[in-house]
Chain A
Amino acid sequence: MPRWIRDNSLGLCFGLLFLGTLVGQALVGHADFNHSQMQHHDDPISLGRYIFSSDFGSDVMENWQSEYLQFTLFILATVWLLQRGSPESKQLDNPGRESDKEQKVGEHAGARSPKWARVNDWRTRVYENSLLIVMASIWLASWGVQSVTGHVAYNAEQFDHQQAAVSWVGYLGTADFWNRTLQNWQSEFLAVGSMAVLSIYLRQRGSPESKPVGSAHDATGVEG
């Protein structure tokens, strides 16, 4: 195996899993959509049209937005919130944004520190929050696209039942929009919360997401 593949195998593996499952979702979603069309004596649509349809867009975006919300909140919450015994938590005596020395910012930056960590002006303020800014931006963008695609899919359903279309703002107040949103949010919060708590007592040898197998249950902020 080439060295660069080994050194980037985590990103490559999940990138390929993402593409494979997205293609799978497109294929089965298309089959499911056309099954519904046939039930209503409507015309089946092509795979290409389905992929650019609001139906597929809504199904994809409602999951994307919830995943990025999960990581946005987790990045933000773990700055201040603690969990005794969890490798997902910082050490109990160190909540908050930490000192410049601990964060290697400005005069405490090393020779190999990123430039924007060294300059100690507005660029450092942006860079020290860049992970949160980008994750939150992707969350809000995908949630916005979900609202647009969901609006079109909702109105198509309205027309099928001889009902009037609703405006985009009106759609934001519908049970459909919030059902699609909250059903994804609750599962993400459950997954993050259970990961933080289960990793207090359970171990996975070799994984940095777990404490070392022999660590005490109350050892906090220790990664394997």
Chain B
Amino acid sequence: MRRATPALLLVLALAGCGQSDDRATVRAVTERFFNAYEANQGAVACATMATETRKQLESEESRPCPEAIGSIELSGGAISHVSVQLTSAKVDLADGESLFLSQEQPGWRITALGCRPTESPTDTPLDCELEA
């Protein structure tokens, strides 16, 4: 038991480090998206989005993602909270809007944008401006 305790603490510490790294990456991807979105750098913004989400945008707007991304109305704002649950993440912005991310082949990518709670936020999906 005396040997097992440090090993258990090490495992928990490593697991905690992994979560912390993921939170930092998710925050960085979100900031990269909003910086590019506000600077009208469509290609950079689209590179932070999940493949299926880009396809959905191009299908809705009938234009390539870098041209279409500007037509999505997003409020932006400071990041107030980042939550990572295994390979899925939710980022809350200060004005109440949220984004969802997922860990894809190249890394963390945005799967849904401009999401706001509906009347029953826990039981029903958030209402998103763009989602796959």
Q: Which residues of chain A are within 8 angstroms of B102 by Cβ–Cβ distance?
A: 40, 42, 159-160
Give the residue name and chain of the B residue nearest to A51 (CB): B11
Q: Which residues of chain A are within 8 angstroms of B51 by Cβ–Cβ distance?
A: 41
- Contact between B131 and A165, CB atoms less than 8 A apart: no
Which residue, A52, A55, A164, has most C-beta atoms of chain B within 10 A?
Answer: A164
Top 10 nearest A-B pairs by Cβ distance?
A159-B88, A156-B85, A162-B125, A155-B85, A156-B86, A156-B88, A43-B103, A164-B121, A162-B112, A162-B126
Residue B104, interface by CB 8 Å? yes
Residue B100, interface by CB 8 Å? yes
Q: Which residues of chain B are within 8 angstroms of A160 by Cβ–Cβ distance?
A: 88, 100, 102
The one of A42, A153, A163 that contacts B122, using a Cβ cutoff of 8 Å: A163
Q: Which residues of chain B are within 8 angstroms of A54 by Cβ–Cβ distance?
A: 85-86
Residue B83, interface by CB 8 Å? yes
- Contact between A170 and B122, CB atoms less than 8 A apart: yes
- Contact between A52 and B11, CB atoms less than 8 A apart: yes
Residue A161, interface by CB 8 Å? yes
Chain B positions within 8 Å of A, measured between CB atoms, are 11, 14-15, 18, 50-52, 83, 85-90, 100, 102-105, 107, 112, 115, 117, 121-126, 128, 131
The one of B15, B87, B112, B128 that contacts A43, using a Cβ cutoff of 8 Å: B87
Residue A120, interface by CB 8 Å? no
- Contact between B128 and A162, CB atoms less than 8 A apart: yes
B84 → chain A closest CB, angstroms: 9
Number of A residues with CB within 8 Å of any CB on chain B: 26
Query: Is the contact region of chain B dominated by helix, strand, or loop, or is it mixed?
Result: mixed
The one of B87, B121, B126 that contacts A156, using a Cβ cutoff of 8 Å: B87
Residue A9, interface by CB 8 Å? no
Q: Which residues of chain A are within 8 angstroms of B107 by Cβ–Cβ distance?
A: 43
Residue A49, interface by CB 8 Å? yes
Given contacts A37-B87, A162-B131, 12 further A-B contacts (CB under 8 A): A41-B51, A41-B52, A43-B87, A43-B105, A52-B15, A155-B88, A156-B85, A156-B87, A157-B88, A159-B83, A162-B125, A164-B126
Chain A positions within 8 Å of B, measured between CB atoms, are 37, 40-43, 45, 49, 52-55, 152-153, 155-166, 170
- Contact between B86 and A42, CB atoms less than 8 A apart: no
Known: A42-B104, A43-B103. A55 touches B86 (CB 8 A): yes
A179 → chain B closest CB, angstroms: 16
Give the residue name and chain of the A residue nearest to B92 (CB): A164
- Contact between A155 and B83, CB atoms less than 8 A apart: yes
In the complex the two chains form, what is the Cα distance from A19 to B67 in whole Å?
55
- Contact between B90 and A159, CB atoms less than 8 A apart: yes
A152 → chain B closest CB, angstroms: 5
In the complex the two chains form, what is the Cα distance from A204 to B29 in whole Å?
64
In the complex the two chains form, what is the Cα distance from A77 to B90 in whole Å?
47
